[in-house]
Amino acid sequence: MSPIHHHFPGQKENERVQLLVRKHWITEVKSAMIIVTMGVLPLILAFALGGFLWQRVNPKLFWGFILAFLIYFLAVSLSTYIHWLNDELDIIVVTDQRLVSQEQIDLFHRQVSEANVSQIQDVTGIEKGLLQSLLHYGTLEITTASNDTLFKMENVEHPHESARRLLDICGKISPPSA
């Protein structure tokens, strides 16, 4: 397995990235569904009623409705962007020395956790349900030597393959003792 040629903030000078774990593209589809449901459907309703309202309602009131809808659409777009950004910035980087988990919890709340690769004890890839099985995405859980440390990322691309590759990296770094 050849190292991946990426760099990340806080990377040590002699450290090489071995594996990047990102979220599956289905999370972007979910964000798109939110904006379509919450934004575009009311827009279609506004245009459908627009011609009807234009003839029967005071034009100033009509433009008030348009302004209210634009503010609503701006709020939906901003909320969807923040939701997408929170998913897009979640990443697990595995180097030849350590595991770094960067999780964007909220817009201004970021959590970075790390552990030595030699501390990793268990890695689990989970695919639940029909959609996850068909599109090969799910949850990746990583347990370290301290039992309370659990790195968990949901909606990961190929969780079983990522778990296998991570265990292979751990095996190369610290061979199992008999």
pLDDT tens over the chain, length 178 residues: 445 667 777 788 888 888 899 999 998 898 888 878 887 777 777 777 766 666 666 777 777 877 888 898 889 888 888 888 888 899 999 988 889 999 998 889 989 888 888 888 889 999 999 999 999 999 999 988 876 668 899 999 999 999 999 989 888 876 555 4
Give the burial string for 134-153 (b: 16+ CB within 10 Å, else e).
Answer: eeebbbbbbbbeeeeeebeb
Residue 19's H or E segment, with its range, is strand 17-22
Q: How far apart are CA 90 and CA 121, in angstroms?
A: 22
CATH of residue 143's domain is 2.30.29.30
CB atoms within 10 A of CB 39: 19
Residue 116's H or E segment, with its range, is strand 109-116
In the numeric block, which tokens belong to residue 126? Answer: 């989970």
| Residues contacting 32, CB < 8 A, separation 6+ | none
Candidates 88, 84, 117, 116; CA nearest to 102 is: 88
What total of structural domains would you count in the chain?
A: 2
Would 9 be classed as within a structural domain? Answer: no
Q: Domain range for residue 78?
A: 29-85
pTM, full prediction: 0.75
Would 4 be classed as within a structural domain? Answer: no
